[in-house]
Amino acid sequence: MTDNHRIFRENLGAYSINALDAEETAALQTHLQTCDSCRATLAEYQRVSAGLLSALPPQSPPPNLKRSLAARLPSAKKTIRPRWQIQWTFGQSAAAIAFILLLGMNLLSFFQVRALQLQQADLVRHFEMERTALAMIASPGAQTLPISSEKVTGSLIVGIEKNSGILILSNLPELKEGETYQIWLIKPDQGRVSAGLFEENHENNVTIVSLGSKDSFQGYIGIGVTIEPAGGSDKPTGPKVLGVKF
């Protein structure tokens, strides 16, 4: 008799009273399909159990009977992990739901206020740019230079000090994610000096950008704008968007 057969035979008594776990029950049922000896033994267990049950008045088994029998089986050596159960009263559940809803509303309000603050800051910045542009246009010594581009229209207004300017642009090509516009001051030897980064205005298709230099623009022959990776580049690497000659 093999060890497996012996184990199956020892489990027949527990199987007859449904005291095996699901894995052992399935294994024993598979074994019974091919073992006449175990089927005969099981039938004897069931006959004795039925006779005993019919001879005694109905009684509820002790609560620990199945646990006691199961403890004697090989499967009892398996580690039993405690299951933690948390019971919530109706009041606790309602309080938890109310807390979650309140937290969600507070977070929504925070993000809405933050979005409004950013929008307001952008409007203020745009307004300041427009006011500066109007002031420079009205200045007697200001110079307005046309944009050189097939698609982009606009002007560069250079201040009387010749070291600051305002770009007023329309129809800028749309940037892809991870891209930015970069302004370059062009030297007579065609060298480039970065004069800042900007992005297009999505609201009214008019973008106003200020640029400045610690030196006079007279040391340069013009400016150019290219599309560069976010954060800018040390030298032009992307496509040219526009140019202005001084």
CATH number at residue 70: 1.10.10
Look at residue 113 and tell me whether its pLDDT is greater than 60: yes
Among residues 52, 77, 102, which one ends one of the domains?
A: 77
Is 130 part of any domain?
yes
The arithmetic mean of pLDDT across residues 105-116, rounded, is 78
In terms of domains, do 142 and 237 share one? yes
Is 216 part of any domain?
yes
The count of domains in the chain is 2
The arithmetic mean of pLDDT across residues 5-14, rounded, is 80
d(CA 17, CA 217): 99
Return the CATH number at 134: 2.60.40
pTM greater than 0.85 (yes/no): no
In terms of domains, do 111 and 49 share one? no
Is 88 part of any domain?
no
In terms of domains, do 175 and 227 share one? yes
The arithmetic mean of pLDDT across residues 81-108, rounded, is 70
Residue 98 belongs to what domain range?
Answer: 93-246
In terms of domains, do 116 and 150 share one? yes
Q: Give CA angle at 142 (141, 143), nearest 5°.
A: 120
In terms of domains, do 30 and 145 share one? no
In terms of domains, do 62 and 184 share one? no
In terms of domains, do 217 and 138 share one? yes
In terms of domains, do 99 and 220 share one? yes
pLDDT tens digit string along 179-237? 999 999 999 999 999 989 998 876 667 888 888 777 778 888 889 999 999 999 999 99
At residue 198, the 3 state secondary structure works out as: strand
**Residue 51: what pLDDT?**
56
Among residues 77, 112, 130, which one ends one of the domains?
A: 77
**Residue 228: what pLDDT?**
96
Give the per-residue SS3 of 15-82. HHCCCCCHHHHHHHHHHHCCCHHHHHHHHHHHHHHHHHHHHCCCCCCCCCHHHHHHHCCHHHHCCCCC
Dihedral sign from CA coordinates of 41, 43, 45, 48: negative
In terms of domains, do 195 and 110 share one? yes
Is 47 part of any domain?
yes
In terms of domains, do 172 and 101 share one? yes
Among residues 77, 108, 141, which one ends one of the domains?
A: 77
Percent of the residues in the chain that have a pLDDT greater than 90, as a whole number:
16
Is 116 part of any domain?
yes
In terms of domains, do 69 and 105 share one? no
**Residue 229: what pLDDT?**
95
Q: Do strands 222-229 and 179-186 pair parallel, antiparallel, or not at all (unpaired)?
A: antiparallel
In terms of domains, do 123 and 201 share one? yes
pLDDT confidence tier of residue 77, bands split at 50, 70 and 90: low
Lowest-confidence range among 87-101, 131-145, 163-177? 131-145
Place of tokens 């749309």: 174
Higher per-residue confidence, 163 vs 190:
190
